[in-house]
Homo-oligomer: A and B are copies of this chain.
Amino acid sequence: MTTTGKQLFTTLESDGTLTVEIEEVTVADPTGNQVLVKMEAAPINPSDLAILTGAADFENAEYSPGKVVAKMPEPFNTGSKARHGQKLPAGNEGAGTVIATGDGDMAKALMGQRVACVPGNAYSEYCLADAAMCLPLGDNSSEDGASAFVNPMTALGFAENAKMDGQKAIVHTAAASNLGQMLVKICQEDDLELVNIVRKAEHVDLLKGLGAKHVVNSSDDDFMKQLRTAIDETDAFYGFDPIGGGQATDNVFKAMEQVAVGKMTEYSRYGSNQQKRMFIYGRLDMGPTILTPSYGFGWTLSGWLLTPFLANAGMETMVRMRQRVLENITTTFASSYKQKVTLEGMLEKGAITDYRQMKTGEKYLVTPHG
């Protein structure tokens, strides 16, 4: 059997020319515990955009059917040196139907089923995927299951990580995202306090509508006061930030320290003894992270990625997390999309310039077979 189909590739040359195009490829037969999935739906997540569009200039790009050529500005081009000249697939996750399998038992058990998968080249008509990472979707549609991995496992990962570290409360920035909404529900289910930071009044309403207790608006004049109050009420000295650039994390550290200092009876030149912990798990703002010297030395900031977290958490935890996602795929872990596009549609100017803004609640879903 020979399977051929369309696949998206993204190539950055050393001179900063970024070419994203759809090509016809032949897909190898699945072996061992591989499955061949006819991809029906794949989301465009912020983590996909890093490789798909990066910081390239799509305003002044050359568009033709199934192809776009754009310029990557400095310092981003030099910063991407490691990928220069490499033709890369894109699309972390998606869902579709298993149409062929390798000889492995895990793979054979999935034959004919609709599954969510993490092939790394989800912007394709056909993908090879690891059966161990596939989630059988049962009666759920591919659209329901397309985002079953990255956001649900990341949001669950935050709750798991917090519990592993003995925390009872979490701060979350850009909290009105699909992932943020999941985290609101997870924290309710797991009895974790959650301080949600959003930047629009409508997002406050959205999260309050989901039952969130603490939602603070960074656009309000008294934002820092709101944040201090919420941290004081929840004892949240631990949090996750998908913005990365600018002072989103800095503001949280400041508010945490001010709350902690307010509880001290004696001044210390070194600040409070309260350990403050933040994780940056995204780069919605590609600018540098700014940390001001205003919260002593009792803080730790790390990058956070799902894959090393799962590797560290172990197989048992991962299986438990996946089971929970499957059982709640249309409730706690439901995603919503602004727009569906085909593979070719992904590369049209209107679509790219829209989805690359990563606006809250405006996620795109790719349907490779139209």
**Which residues of A in the span 257-310 have a Cβ within 8 Å of any Cβ on B?**
261, 264, 267, 269-270, 273, 280-281, 283, 286-294, 296-305, 307-308
Residue among B51, B280, B300, B308 making CB contact with A302, cutoff 8 Å: B300
**Residue contact A88 to B301, C-beta cutoff 8 Å:** no
User: Given that A50-B269, A82-B267, A269-B51 are contacting pairs, would A298 and B291 also be in contact in the complex, using a CB cutoff of 8 Å?
Assistant: no
In the bound complex, residues from chain B placing their C-beta under 8 Å from that of A294 are: 75, 79
A86 at interface by CB-CB < 8 Å = yes
Interface of A is mostly: mixed
Instruction: Please measure, in the bound complex, the distance between the C-alpha atom of A11 and the C-alpha atom of B304, giving whole angstroms.
Output: 42
Q: Nearest B residue to A51 by beta-carbon distance?
A: B269
A359 to B33, CA, bound (A): 62
| Cβ-defined partner of A290 (8 Å) among B289, B302, B304 | B289
A185 contacts the other chain (CB 8 A): no
Q: Are B291 and A299 in contact (CB under 8 A)?
A: no
Which residues of the other chain, B, contact A250 by a CB distance below 8 angstroms?
288
Return chain B residues, CB-CB under 8 Å to A280. 297
Residues of B with C-beta under 8 A to A349: none
List chain B residues, Cβ under 8 A from A288. 250, 290-293
Other-chain residue from B86, B264, B283, B302 in contact with A301 (beta carbon distance below 8 A)? B302
What's the least CB distance linking A166 to chain B, in Å?
Answer: 15
* 4 further contact pairs, Cβ within 8 A, besides A79-B294, A82-B261, A300-B303: A50-B269, A82-B264, A270-B305, A297-B303
Subset of 16 A-B contacts with CB under 8 Å: A79-B293, A82-B261, A86-B267, A88-B267, A245-B293, A270-B305, A286-B293, A287-B293, A288-B291, A288-B293, A296-B305, A297-B305, A300-B301, A300-B302, A300-B303, A301-B302
Residue positions of A touching B, CB distance < 8 A: 47, 50-51, 75, 79, 82-83, 86, 88, 244-245, 250, 261, 264, 267, 269-270, 273, 280-281, 283, 286-294, 296-305, 307-308
